[in-house]
Amino acid sequence: MQLSIVEIAKPADTNVIVGQSHFIKTVEDVYEALVQSVPGIKFGLAFCEASGPCLIRHTGTDAALEQSAVEAASAIGAGHVFVVILGNAFPINVLNQIKSVSEVCTIFCATANPLRVIVAEDGGGRGVVGVIDGSSPRGVEGASDQADRHAMLRRFGYKK
């Protein structure tokens, strides 16, 4: 088995969700979950088929984001993995809906940070071992950091 790290390239000011599901129906069901979650959502979705023709299936509401999702899924190259690139929405707006799709087995990450995916390959296929999401902590928040966090959440409208 060989381990490698795949850096996920995505457009600036976007978020990425990487998950695993178990059926080709994922593409249409995740699409429906996304468009029903946020009116006017911009996203691209790609899914790595794991049997049959083993194609990268894709859809979306924005051609550039769809192409970015296809490129990310292709770079990962692991069966039944899907990638969603979000343009004008945050993962918090769609994660519960994606997780409720019956084909979805797990979510590896949902982030705007630089993302690296750890992939294992055994000659017969590839699988996601885990992800490296952003940077390591540089310390523990203090009182002013807590105040900044509280203010940011209220500025974004997530808390009152």
Residue 123 has pLDDT above 90, yes or no: no
Instruction: Determine the average pLDDT of the residues in 36-62.
Output: 97
Model confidence at 7, in pLDDT bands (50, 70, 90)?
very high
Supply the CATH classification number for the domain 2-155: 3.40.1520.10
> How many residues in the chain?
160
Beta-ladder partners of 7: 116
3 state SS for the chain: CEEEEEEECCCCCCEEEEEEECCCCHHHHHHHHHHHHCCCCCEEEEEECCCCCCCEEEEECCHHHHHHHHHHHHHHCCCCEEEEEECCCCHHHHHHHHHCCCCEEEEEEEECCCEEEEEEECCCCEEEEEEEECCCCCCCCCHHHHHHHHHHHHHCCCCC
Q: What is the pLDDT of residue 52?
A: 93
Domain range summary for the chain, segments of one domain joined by +? 2-155
Instruction: Determine the average pLDDT of the residues in 65-91.
Output: 97
Question: What average pLDDT does the chain have?
Answer: 96
**Residue 40 Ramachandran class (φ > 0 left, ψ -120 to 50 alpha, else beta):** left
Q: What is the pLDDT of residue 156?
A: 85
Q: What is the pLDDT of residue 35?
A: 98
Which is it for strands 15-21 and 43-48: parallel, antiparallel or unpaired?
unpaired
Q: What is the pLDDT of residue 66?
A: 98
Q: What is the pLDDT of residue 124?
A: 84
Q: What is the pLDDT of residue 26?
A: 93
